[in-house]
Structure 1
């Protein structure tokens, strides 16, 4: 039996995954999952870095803490082949007894191409082909696929005993063409730094229309929101400017930040007391988000994180 996923989850990665003096990242992630579950949080998301694997970490943590659902937010498709992504996801689903969700993203070409030293394929075409291969593989369909950016030719069965139920696939899509692909070929989207106005006016209508045209159910929209409950708002905003400044240089994020009428990613931080942050989060739900993922909840200290997670648990 699985628990029910919560409407407000929390994120592990970035500052969470870089605590000084931490002996073992997997152990620390499991400790935080126990802490989150005790606060009433029922969903925990894991970011992909180069120092650990998000799918494996989600599987290990989900197995260690049976009260929570786990997911990735997000694993870049490039340069991972969908056969490998599907195998990892089905393993995580089996390990957690059906409490795993797979969040994927295109990744930032300017950041990833130099790292891997491989040519980045045309983004939207690759997104469509990756999803066209991945969904059947997740469902145990071994049919070959020949595309322009990838090919898939399984030579052994791709089903995994105990991996049911169906694994939801969410795409970190915010542009119109990526949202159309997500609506047609995936179960929803995971926008990050897209505020309530951008959700209501751009993201929710675009992906909902695409899903409806493809005869698919209403999409899940998991909005990633930087949020910190604290009495020291000035310190939180200063720290957010340091940590979130990376996103100001990525075109896709610059676009949604500007669409929200903000000058920088840090301007989207929700911070203040519990009532202030809760009111801000409700604006995202009113804008059409079906779930929230609170990120950067530990910008300051363990106390602010505990307060933020307690709020997430209540919501």
Structure 2
């Protein structure tokens, strides 16, 4: 039997579910013995606030806050936020950073997303120094901070970089402890992991670990499959992602998506096979087989994003099934 990647849990923030369900998923992940919980930032909670609430509602699970958009949060506020959660809760707290999307950065926040690759690289450098407790002055092309150092104990947190394009992969390889990929097929994960390792070798450092966020539903209901299917819609026409799906055999659908059809029509055209190419769906044997594919692709860790539907609220059944599966590997 092929060893599985290390499993952690990421909060899903499904738009058709109550926001407070995030705490239910967090408690389930902690109770079931997962070692890490990823707390992203979308349209509901401030990530640092939710991380503090999660720590109060759970017993031991470590926390990774983010990915935080580097065009929205500067290095000082990122480092101070991480140190605040760590200091107030006593938990081990890591942080993930990324470039986020044009909608989040440009429309929600009204910020400039140009030169996002440079901003990510410079933010990684400055955040690392601040998290290690150094008084930091950094004058980059996009990112600047002068003279701040943490007044709270330096958490020395693990730094994760969310990557997909070449610039972000290079930043992860050269400056991160871990690279995380979102919504990738095993084949795409293998390519990105190898590119990152090549970049790390050129930089003369050990390659960071590779993690992937993967939506999951074990023994899924129709509602769970539909929930995951909806999450794929926005990616089909996106640069890079469209090419990935085309490579996986869905070129006609990608071409259709790039004609900008109504989202309802695009959703109706997405086959179950496409969902299965980027998610953990099916019975236990099918899910295990897909996890083994990710492991063979060089993915060290899978951050499970459990579907949450009335048949499996907060994804507790899926998390329990995955935990049992991982337990059999020990």
For Structure 1 versus Structure 2, the TM-score category normalised by the shorter chain is 0.7 to 0.9
- Counterpart of 1:75 (choices 68, 71, 87) is 68
Match of 2:239 among 226, 251, 273: 251
Alignment length (residue pairs) = 299
Provide the rounded CA distance (Å) in 2 between the counterparts of 1:303 and 1:85.
32
Q: Which moved more, 1:50-59 or 1:257-266?
A: 257-266
How far the C-alpha of 1:73 sits from its partner, in A, is 4.2
Aligned 1:108-187 pairs, distance under 5 A: 108-154=101-147, 156-161=148-153, 163-164=154-155, 166-187=156-177
- Does residue 282 (structure 1) correspond to residue 312 (structure 2)? The answer is no
Query: Which residue of structure 1 lines up, in the alignment, with residue 198 of structure 2?
Result: 209
Alignment-derived partner of residue 85 in structure 2? 92
TM-score for both structures, normalised by structure 2: 0.81
Is residue 266 of structure 1 aligned with residue 264 of structure 2?
A: no
Structure 1 segments of 4+ aligned residues over 6 angstroms from their partners: none
Contact 2:178 2:208 in 1 (8 A): yes
* 8 Å CA contact 2:214, 2:279 repeated in 1: yes
Instruction: Name the counterpart of 1:227.
Output: 216
Please, what is the CA RMSD of the aligned residues?
2.5
- Report the Cα offset of residue 178 of structure 1: 1.2
Please say which of residues 40-49 and 131-140 is displaced more in the overlay. 40-49
- What is the deviation of 1:80? 1.2
The whole-number CA distance in structure 2 between the counterparts of 1:258 and 1:172 is: 22
Q: Take 1:238 and 1:98, find their aligned partners in 2: how far apart are those partners?
A: 35
Is the CA contact (8 Å cut-off) linking 1:245 and 1:266 kept in structure 2?
A: no
Partner of 1:19, secondary structure, is: coil
Contact 1:228-1:272 within 8 A present in 2 as well: yes
Residue 36 in 1 paired to residue 26 in 2? no
Task: Give the distance between the partners of 2:319 and 2:63, measured in 1 at CA.
Answer: 16
Deviates more, 1:184-193 or 1:293-302: 293-302
Deviation at 1:306, TM superposition (A): 2.3
CA distance in structure 1 between the aligned counterparts of 2:213 and 2:300, rounded to whole angstroms = 11
Q: Which moved more, 1:105-114 or 1:167-176?
A: 105-114
For 1:35 and 1:111, locate their aligned partners in 2 and report how far apart those are by CA, in whole Å. Answer: 29
8 Å Cα contact 1:75/1:104 also seen in 2: yes
Instruction: Quote the residue 1:3 is aligned against.
Output: none
Q: Select which of 171, 187, 190 maps to 1:197.
A: 187
- Measured at CA, do residues 171 and 226 of structure 1 come closer, stay the same or move farther in structure 2, by a change above 3 Å? same
Q: Aligned with 1:13: secondary structure?
A: coil
Give the direction of change, closer, same or farther, for the CA distance of 1:225–1:109 in structure 2 (3 Å limit).
same
Question: Contact 1:198–1:259 (CA<8 Å) still a contact in 2?
Answer: no
TM normalised by structure 1 equals: 0.85
Aligned-partner SS, 1:251: coil
Gaps of 5+ in 1: 1-5
Whole-Å Cα distance in 2 between the matches of residues 311 and 289 of structure 1?
20
1:91-117 deviation per Cα after TM superposition (whole angstroms, max 9, x unaligned): 223344352221111011254212222
Give SS of 2:114's match: coil
